Chain A
Amino acid sequence: MLTQIIAQGLSVGAVLALSALGLTVIYGVMGVVNLAHGEFVMLGAYSMAVLSEPLGPWAAIALTPLIVGAIGLVVDRGLIRWLYQNPVKSMLGTFGLGIVIRQLVLIAEGPGLRYVDLPITSSVAILGEQLPVWRLLLIALAVVTGVLVALWLSRSAAGLKVRIATVDADVASALGTNVSRVNALAFGLGTALAGLAGALVAPLNSVYPNMGVSYLVGAFLVVILAGLGSIRNALLWAAGVGLVTSAVAVPQDDVLAQVVVWTLALVIVALRRQTLVVSRV
């Protein structure tokens, strides 16, 4: 049972990590609290639903972050850029954005559940337990993505600009960085990560317009615990939340698991001196 708990916990954590990563990049870089983040996960799931049959699942998974990231760029230019560095305004703005996206998808696709084919339905025996291969893939992809994003931020020129802009936007623009463009890039990246999460969960679940809400809540939980801006922390805390959830849910039930997770989160946050720890990206 322990292997099941760990594998299950890590796969839940993987999805949390991908959504939390996007959220933390967006806040870390441009100070926007993106309450529509769950909707980008949902858009990723729908992109997978629409593309995986004609193009095959792997092409669909590769394309989805690009598509959702592109939508993110458009949204950034159209709405988000009025909301930079303003948490309250951005919450209101993105809350409305979330409603608009949900309704547009509802109108375009209808309220019914969409089916996405699970590309790998087999399971593999590890340490005496049967583990679904797809979930293992999810974990691997989350880790790889997290590492790639961290490397990009720390090693590439664009990443450097993003980090400077995070620390001090005025200094960055004085140094010649187009801060507005950096913000757009960050929003595109953040939403692309959300879209990837959506594409990966779509085959395991159901795809419907309101599915994004629970991903937003989970992502926020991880971001609050991990602190905004640190990718490594986001990955670790996502894994932690996933493991605690499954440690309670497997022997008991999922509702109790939620109670335990949120109570622990409250205690941890209460014991810290700051509510929201902000660290360097």
Chain B
Amino acid sequence: MRLLAASLTALAALALPGTAMAQSTTATAGPFPVTGNVPGLCSGGTLSNANSSFALGVLIDTATGLRRTDLAAPPKILTGAFCTVRSNISISATALQSVNNIAAPGAGFSRTVHYTASASGWTTTPATFATGSASNPGSSQERSTAFQGDISVGIGSFSTGGGEGLRLVADTAYQGIVTVTLAVAN
């Protein structure tokens, strides 16, 4: 036992001088860079009342067959829309057309109602799209800063396809589509 104890002591004695030598200089690791990112992110918000239909009701004056001049529908609100970077808002729409009665209308009749759809609240100039127009340069608008807010989508400026003197053919369903796109700007 005395011999073993002596041996352990000797080992300890050998090891200690080594530790003493490592403390003699300064070792540095790093710097370790900590990086992250926030990707461009857009959310189109939530449609108020979960009702995605502009319900216009009866399109014509039943005494004359001509399009009503007082057509209107409340705007739809996309609440809580946001974009974390520069963004584009664009809008497109298709004209109201009879769904079931798709035959070519007779002389003096039409199955199309044009309108203008707009998305406002996101950009200074609302994005607008007229279904009867050959080009719609204002249908896409850019916002240079991140933003959070509501987008109001509305329709108006109705006109009868082919001319205001035309009557609309009967159909229980006329339908058009409005599409609003909110995207990270390139």
Bound pair (A, B): no
Q: Which A residues are within 8 Å of any B CB, using their own CB?
A: none
